[in-house]
A and B are shown apart, each in its own frame.
Chain A
Amino acid sequence: MPLDGKTAFVTGGRQGIGRGILEAFLTEGATVTTCGRGARPKDFPAAVLWCELDVSDPDAVNQLAQTMDALDILVNNAGVQVEKTVVDSSDADWDLVMGVNARGVFNTCRAFIPKMSHGGSIINIGSISGRVSDPSMALYNASKAFVHGLTRSIAVDHGPDVRCNAICPGWIETGMLEAGFDLSGDPERAKSDALSRHPVRRFGKPADIAAIAVWLASDEAGFATGQMFTVDGGMTAASPINPGLT
C-alpha cells in the first residue's frame, strides 16, 4: 500500500473533504491523526487519533507539535468560509477567515516542518476560488490565494526534504454545497444549471480530492512540488459563459 508506514496529520478531519482524506489515508496504510475545534465526533474511525485543536492558535499548535514524533504527511484542510463582500466584512470576519485559512496553515507548517522526515509531503487545500473569484466570498478567495503563495514558498525554501503542493477543489458535495442550493428560489434548477457547467456532469466527492491527496502524499509524486492541482470536473477549464444561456 502506497502509504504503509507513513504518519499523517490531517487538520479539520471531522467531515467533508478532510474526512474523505483521512479515510483514504487509513485505507492506504498510513497512521492518521486529525484535529478539530471540539470533542471527538461519534462514529469516528477507531484507528484515528483525535486532538482538540484550533489551528488559528499558534501556541496550541506548537504544543501539539511537541507531543508528536516524526511526521511524513501534513494535510492542511481546516477551513472556514464567510460569504460577504469586502464592504460587508467585519473585523471579526477577517480574524476568523484569515485566522483559520491563512494563519492556521502557517502555524501548522511552522510547527511541523521541523518534525518532517526527508521525503515528507505537505498538502494544502487551496481552492479554485484562489485563482478565480467566487462572488461575495472576498476574504475566503483571498485566504486561498495566500495558501497558494505559501505553498510555492515552502516548496522553494524547504525542498529537497519536504515537498509542498496544494489541491484546488472545485464544487465538492459537502453540506456546504447543498446549503447553497437550498438558498436558491428553485434549488432543482440551480442544481441542474450548476451541473451543466461541469464537463463531467457531476459534482466532486470528498473521495475525488482524497485520491489526489493520496498520490501527492505518496512517493509516486516525488517530483511534484510547488504546484497547484485543480480537481474540479473541468469547470474552470471552461468559460463562465457556458452553456445553456437562455
Chain B
Amino acid sequence: MTLEGKTALVTGGRGGIGRAIVARFLKEGAVVYAADLTPQGSLQAHNDDGSHFVKLDVTQEADAVAAMERVGREAGKLDILVNAAGIEIEKTIEDTTLEEWNQSFAVNTTGTFLTSKYALPLLRSAATPESSASIINFGSYDGFIADPGLAAYCATKGAVHALTRAMACDHGPEGIRVNAVCPGYIDTPMLQSFFESDGSGGGGGTIETLQKAVRDVHPMRTYGTPEDIANLVHWLASDEARYASGQLWVLDGGLSAQVQQMRL
C-alpha cells in the first residue's frame, strides 16, 4: 500500500469521479475524508466504504473552515487534497444566466480556491523533506479546447489550470506539490446528463447512438472510467510523483491528441 499513514480529503468525494478516488485512497491505506453536499453525492446510492463523510459546500467559506478544523482535530495534518467537486452548465454564453455563470465559478473555481486556502496549514504540517504534500485540482480537457454549449464550464476549467500553476509556484517551497488532472470523457452522472440533454448539438439520435459516436471518436474507442482518473490521482498523490508539480495532466484516451475526425 502506497498511502499508509497519509490523510486525504476529496471534495465531491461521493460523486462520480470523487468516489473512485476515495475508494482507491482507502485501498492504498490512507485515512480518507469524503467531502460532499450529501452522503449520497451525485450517485443514487452509497455503500459505506470506510471513508469519513464531511458535509461541505465548497462555495461556502465557513464550510471549508469547519471541514479543515475537523480534519485538524482528528488527524492533525492533511497530506493530500483533491478538489474534485464540480458542476457543468450546458449552455452557450447567450443562454447562460448570470446566476448560472456565478454558480459555475463558485463551485469549480472559487471552491478550489477556498478549500485549498484553508487546507494549507494542515498541508504544511504534513509536508516533510522525504514526503511532500499534494494538491490535485480538477481541470478538464475543456480547459484547452471547447465543447459546444459548455461556455461557462470551459472558462472555469481554464481558470483552474492557471490557478494550479500559480499555487504550485507559491507553495512548492513549502513542500506542497500542486497539479491538475484534466479528464476527457469519463463515465459519470455528469456525462450521462450531457448525453441526455444531447449537449453535443447532435441530430436527434438516441442516447445509445450518441454514446457509440462518442466512444468511436476516441483513439482508444471508449470513454474513460472514474477508476482511470483515480489511477492518475493516486500516482500524483503518492511519493512516486515527488518531482511532479505545476502541471496539467490530460487523461482522455487520446481524444485531444487528434485533429477533428472527418467522416470520409
Residues of A within 8 A of B (CB): 128-129, 132-135, 180-181, 183-184, 189-190, 193-194, 197, 235-246
Which B residues form the contact surface with A (CB < 8 A)?
141-142, 145-148, 185, 200-205, 209-210, 213-214, 217, 255-264
Distance, CA A241 to CA B213, complexed state (A): 9
Of A184, A235, A245, which one neighbours B259 at CB under 8 angstroms?
A: A235
Which residues of chain B are within 8 angstroms of A240 by Cβ–Cβ distance? 217, 255-256, 258-261
User: Are B200 and A132 interface neighbours, CB within 8 A?
Assistant: no
Which A residue's beta carbon lies closest to that of B147?
A239
In the A-B complex, the 9 residue pairs with the smallest Cβ-Cβ separation, listed nearest first, are A246-B203, A243-B201, A245-B213, A245-B202, A184-B264, A246-B205, A132-B259, A197-B260, A239-B147
Question: Which of A180, A183, A193 has the most C-beta atoms of chain B within 10 angstroms of its own C-beta?
Answer: A193
Residues of A within 8 A of B262 (CB): 180, 190, 193-194, 197
Most-contacted residue by chain B among A129, A135, A242 (CB, 10 A): A242
Knowing A181-B264, A246-B204 are in contact, say whether A241-B185 is a contact too (CB < 8 A).
yes
Q: A240-B258, A245-B213, A246-B202 are in contact. Are A193 and B263 (CB under 8 A)?
A: yes
Known contacts A133-B257, A238-B260: does B202 contact A244 (CB below 8 Å)?
Answer: yes
Q: How far is the CA of A190 from the CA of B256 in the complex (A)?
A: 21
A128 pairs with B259, CB closer than 8 A: yes
Contact A239–B259 (Cβ < 8 Å): no
State how many angstroms separate the Cβ of A110 from the closest Cβ of chain B.
Answer: 30
Chain B residues near A241: list those with CB within 8 A.
147, 185, 200, 213-214, 217, 255
A151 CB, nearest partner CB in chain B, Å: 19
Q: A239, B203: Cβ atoms under 8 Å?
A: no
Distance in Å: Cβ of B67 to nearest Cβ of chain A: 34
Given A190-B264, A246-B209, decide whether A238 and B202 contact each other with a Cβ distance below 8 A.
Answer: no
Other A-B pairs beyond A193-B262, A197-B260, A244-B202, 19, CB < 8 Å: A133-B257, A190-B263, A193-B263, A194-B262, A235-B259, A236-B259, A239-B141, A239-B142, A239-B147, A240-B217, A240-B261, A241-B200, A241-B213, A243-B148, A245-B200, A245-B209, A245-B213, A245-B214, A246-B213
Contact of B145 among A129, A189, A197, A237 (CB under 8 A): A237
Q: Cβ of A238 and Cβ of B205 under 8 Å apart?
A: no
Instruction: Determine the distance from Cα of A244 to Cα of B217 in the docked complex, in whole angstroms.
Output: 13
CB of A242 within 8 A of CB of B200, answer: yes
B37 to chain A, nearest CB (A): 29
Q: Which of A181, A243, A244, A245 has the most CB of B within 10 A?
A: A245
- CB <8 Å contact, A239 and B214: no
A201 CB to closest chain B CB, in angstroms?
13
> Please, which residues of chain A bring their CB within 8 A of the CB of B264?
180-181, 183-184, 190
Q: In the complex, how many angstroms separate the beta carbon of B206 from the nearest chain A beta carbon? A: 10
Q: Which residues of B contact A129 (CB under 8 A)?
A: 259
Q: Secondary structure at chain B's binding surface: helix, strand, loop or mixed?
A: loop
Q: Is the CB of A134 within 8 A of B213?
A: no
Residues of B within 8 A of A239 (CB): 141-142, 145-148, 255-256
CB-based contact A135/B202 at 8 Å: no
Contact status of A135 and B258, CB under 8 A, knowing A242-B200, A246-B203: yes
Cβ of A245 to closest chain B Cβ, rounded Å: 4
The reply to whether A132 and B256 form a contact with Cβ atoms under 8 Å apart is yes
The closest CB in chain A to the CB of B264 belongs to A184
Q: Which residue of A lies closest to B205 (CB)?
A: A246
Chain A residue contacts of B258, Cβ below 8 A: 132-135, 240
Q: Which residues on A sit within 8 Å (CB–CB) of B255?
A: 239-241
Which listed residue, B141, B202, B257, touches A243 by the CB 8 Å rule? B202
Q: How far is the CA of A236 from the CA of B255 in the complex (A)?
A: 12
Q: Which residues on A sit within 8 Å (CB–CB) of B141?
A: 239
Given contact pairs A134-B259, A181-B264, A246-B204, A238 touches B217 in the complex (Cβ within 8 A):
no
Asked whether A245 lies within 8 Å of B145 as measured between CB atoms, the reply is: no
| Contact partners of B210 in chain A: CB under 8 A | 245
Q: List 24 A-B contacts (CB under 8 A).
A: A132-B257, A132-B259, A133-B259, A134-B259, A180-B262, A184-B263, A184-B264, A189-B263, A190-B262, A193-B263, A194-B262, A237-B146, A238-B147, A239-B141, A241-B200, A242-B147, A243-B148, A243-B202, A244-B201, A245-B202, A245-B205, A245-B209, A246-B205, A246-B213
A242 to B146, CA, bound (A): 9
Asked, given contacts A236-B145, A237-B145, A237-B146, whether A242 binds B260 with beta carbons under 8 Å apart, the answer is yes
CA distance A170 to B213 in the complex (A): 24
